[in-house]
Amino acid sequence: MPESPSLTDRQMQLLRMLYRASESTGVFTVKKTQGDLARELSLTRQALNIHLRRLREEGLIRTGRGFIDLTEKALVVLGIGTAEAFVFLKIQPFKRDQVYDKVRRLPASRIFRVTGEIDLVAQVPQSRLDGFLESVSNIDGVVSTASHVVISIIK
């Protein structure tokens, strides 16, 4: 396991906040301005840039014009799994449209409507699985769920 970098409390706070603000697109990308991030952390933009530079030097983030990506190394430092999970959902037939509308808004990478004994398959980052399952359990019309976390990719 790679050595965890020595980060200040503020840098860990920034890393956690960036993770919460990110969207999973294969990578975790933050689409907030540096001004917004600085305000949320009660920092000046200059102070934020010092912390961002350190996180970049440690290989925890990648930055570019208009984005900040968290690296896999950052997810390890935060103790967050990076594997994908698949959630199978069985839905009451007469409530399908309402359930589909609600499930679309949940933090899934992809959602598939399928044939067979289940109705939907949601691909969810493992780090978002608990929240996804909690939200799904509150949707009227969801009969059952089954979760499967990917342990390795063989092809």
> What is the chain's mean pLDDT, rounded?
88
Query: Predicted confidence band at 115 (pLDDT cuts at 50, 70, 90)?
Result: very high
Residue ranges per structural domain of the chain? 9-78, 84-149
Give the C-alpha separation, 73 to 57, whole Å.
12
pLDDT at 4 over 90: no
How many angstroms separate the CA atoms of 152 and 88, rounded? 19
- Whether residue 97 is predicted with pLDDT greater than 70 in this model: the reply is yes
Mean pLDDT over 103-118 rounds to 92
pTM above 0.75, yes or no: no
What are the structure tokens assigned to 111, written together?
């959602």
The CATH fold of domain 9-78: Arc Repressor Mutant, subunit A (1.10.10)
Strands 142-149 and 67-70: unpaired
Q: Which CATH class is domain 84-149?
A: alpha beta
Q: What is the pLDDT of residues 27-72, one digit of tens each?
A: 678 888 889 999 999 999 999 999 999 999 999 999 888 889 988 7
CA atoms of 10 and 22, how far apart (whole Å): 18
Return the pLDDT at 109. 86
